[in-house]
Structure 1
Amino acid sequence: MSRIVYDTATTLNGWIADEQDSLDWLFAVPGGDEPPEGTYPESATVLVMGSHTYEWVLRHEDLLTRPERWQEWYAGKHTFVFSSRALPIPDGADITLVSGPVADALPRLRAAAGGADIWVMGGGDLAGQFLDAGALDRIAVSVAPAALPGGAPLLPRRVGPDRLRLVSAEAVGPFARLVYEVGPAAE
């Protein structure tokens, strides 16, 4: 069965995007624009993101004007974007817009993955919805040597230490890479 992995970068104080939902802070960190091999779920065949993350990617990569760039980054990966509104899709991109609860979309996501991993790219609230649904299997965080005064939080949920088991912690360039397995919620 597919594992659902939330894999993202965060500031030292726990923000994944700034107050304008931008990831520009990350690209100012050496290596932030090109994560090292093995620091993202390469085996994932399905990508999942929220509308803020998706819209930032569209703008940052100019994907509506240059849709071929989608193929450079995401070729062979079906992408599901959770949004309550219609959003533009670059020509030729394999994107499905989804609305409603994460739990309702899980069968569709797992079917699209065909047993491979599913990568929740962002945002933190969307990852929290997977956690709430009991569907998040792993959290991998690359902590950057940067801090922001506010923005989008890494995971706006209370998660006790009984649910997280540290799998690894290592230095990867300027980042601290932390990987946790997520256990079931206590009943």
Structure 2
Amino acid sequence: MLACCDPRRPGVMGCNKVQAIAPFVNHTFLPTTLKNQSYSASSLDGFLATTDNSLDWLLQFGEAEGPGYKNFLADIGAIAMGSSTNQWLLDHYIKGGTPDEKAWLYTQPTGIFSGRKLDAVRDADLRFVQGAVTPVHQQMAAAAKGKNFWIAGGGELAGQSFDPDLLDELIIQVASVTLGQGLPLLPRLIAFPPLRLRSVQALGEAFAELHDQVPHPGDWIGMAGGSTPPNGSGFTL
């Protein structure tokens, strides 16, 4: 589940057609400039949502300030999300079959990771996918056609993308609230080497947006003192 599924903040999508258990594009257009990005909102203590998937703590703030989200989305060519994130959108925003029904918002092809059949959404280009992240990522990168790939949620999907070195950047809007417990932003140890902070921006009085670069194998090279990673870290010189 992703803490930024509210369409007024990072985390909703939209498209043109529905495909069930369909692959993305069947070719190998994998540009080296493509960035795999996780863009989300989080509580100050690192949670995306409460244990019961509530986003009330986030929704109280309304729309995000500034053009950051719009600019981010303009560079996105494909999106991935887990089934819980998708279900939250269906239940709390799309509300299909009700007088309050809304359209799917994004035009990018969107991969929904799920081992079960999910409801289709009218006028949405959804591709229901299963299995390991790596082969699906290759298809999504091809579908992105040279633009960036958004890992929209939840935290575990971002973690599964990090495991095979398929996560490049974290863009996190940290809210001035604490939850105490909940669904974690990124349930992985990333400390040796650490993330590299690229920028920080205040968004009004409620949020600070952090932009971090995710380390890749070999990133210990050139760090201060030429230090060697701890044994078992998976990063070598």
TM-score by length of 2: 0.72
Percentage of pairs with the same residue: 35
Q: How does 1:58-97 map to 2 (within 5 A)?
A: 58-65=90-97, 69-70=103-104, 73-74=105-106, 76-97=107-128
> What is the rounded CA distance, in whole Å, between the counterparts of 2:88 and 2:41 in structure 1?
15
8 Å CA contact retained: 2:134, 2:164: yes
Q: What is residue 44 of structure 1 aligned with on the other side?
A: 76
1:22 positional shift: 2.5
Q: Which amino acid aligns with 1:178?
A: L
Q: How does 1:1-187 map to 2 (within 5 A)?
A: 1=31, 2-28=34-60, 30-31=61-62, 33-34=63-64, 36-39=66-69, 41-42=72-73, 43-65=75-97, 69-70=103-104, 73-74=105-106, 76-173=107-204, 174-185=206-217, 186-187=235-236
8 Å CA contact retained: 1:144, 1:176: yes
> What is the rounded CA distance, in whole Å, between the counterparts of 1:69 and 1:35 in structure 2?
23
> What is the rounded CA distance, in whole Å, between the counterparts of 1:93 and 1:168 in structure 2?
34
1:81 positional shift: 0.9
8 Å CA contact retained: 1:136, 1:182: yes
> What is the rounded CA distance, in whole Å, between the counterparts of 1:52 and 1:34 in structure 2?
23
Give the number of the structure whose alpha-carbon radius of gyration is greater: 2
Question: SS state of the match for residue 69, structure 1?
Answer: coil
1:141 positional shift: 0.6
Higher relative contact order (CA 8 A, sep 6+): 1
TM-score by length of 1: 0.90
Please identify which structure carries the higher strand content. Answer: 1
Q: RMSD of aligned C-alpha atoms?
A: 1.7
In terms of mean alpha carbon deviation, does 5-14 or 153-162 score higher? Answer: 153-162
> Where do 5+ consecutive residues of structure 1 fail to align?
none
1:63 positional shift: 4.0
Question: SS state of the match for residue 167, structure 1?
Answer: strand
1:119 positional shift: 0.9
